Chains A and B, each alone.
Chain A
Amino acid sequence: MQDKIDKIFKAIADPTRREILHALVVASVALPITDISAKFDISRQGVTKHIRILEEAELVEITKKGRERIVFANPSSLKTVSEWLQFYEQFWDGSIKGLVDYLDNKEG
């Protein structure tokens, strides 16, 4: 489990990979590696390396179509992490408010 989260953090630590993932999510379509390579003006080899790291983090999936490899976004792994953050954001906001109210109403 921890291993998986580490992989996600590693994958999205790099700005190029964040852009590739973003492009795939926004486009909501599968893109061939050739297209990604052209779009980001980096070598096919470079794109393949980035895609492999995203794939290891289960943020993208790859299928083969003929000789071409097609990449799909799978951002659900990211979503689950942010939901915990969102929950605790609200939780601590509420708790601090509770602390302040308590202090305001306490004597001394």
Chain B
Amino acid sequence: MKDMITKEEMINHPVDKVWNAISKAEEISTWFIQADFKAEVGTPYTFTASEDKGCMKITGVVKEANPYTLVYTWIVENTDVETTVKWRLEAEGENTKLYLEHSGIANYPGESAVKMFESFSGGWAQCVDQLQSYLTKAIHAG
């Protein structure tokens, strides 16, 4: 049994470009989720997915923000459960190795996990669809 999710991805873009994408509000809002976010230690942030789609609000505080490590707490609305998301980038020539860690997931209460999972999962699927269509439009428009 584990409490943490880890992801690794080799990205064919320079480290500064990837860093901007994960740390600047405007860019986060484009590919990830509507973000009121500043990559400064101690600064609270809010991620908001459109409510009419049944999506959630996520809040937290930036814990670490030095190129190329970004750590923030991650609290889903109505759960009061604090988890932690950590992004770490390593330059490999013109490419970037991305490491993502999401820890504290075992903190979610067992009783309500199934219910939360169901509503949350549907919401996110819709958000992802929305994002994909947005990106497709943006690409064709540009």
Contact = CB atoms under 8 A, between A and B. Distances in A.
B65 interface: no
Given A92-B5, A95-B32, A108 B17 contact: yes
B51 to A, nearest CB: 18
A68 interface: no
Interface in B90-123: 98, 100, 102, 105-111, 113-114, 116-117, 120-121
B9 A88 contact: no
A77 B21 contact: no
Interface residues of A, number: 35
Interface string B14-58: 000110011000010011100000000000000000000000000
B117 A102 contact: no
Contact of B106 (A5, A89, A103): A5
A81 B2 CA distance: 9
Given A85-B105, A102-B21, A93 B7 contact: yes
B75 interface: no
Nearest to A101: B135
A12 interface: yes
A103 B21 contact: yes
Contacts of A104: 12-13
Contacts of A9: 1, 3, 106
Nearest to B81: A1
Given A87-B120, A96-B9, A96-B98, A105 B139 contact: yes
B31 A101 contact: yes
A26 B32 CA distance: 41
A53 to B, nearest CB: 15
Interface of B: 1-3, 5, 7, 9, 11-13, 17-18, 21-22, 27, 30-32, 98, 100, 102, 105-111, 113-114, 116-117, 120-121, 124, 128, 131-132, 135, 138-139, 142
15 contacts: A5-B106, A5-B109, A77-B110, A82-B1, A84-B116, A85-B2, A85-B105, A93-B7, A94-B128, A98-B31, A102-B21, A102-B27, A102-B31, A104-B12, A106-B21
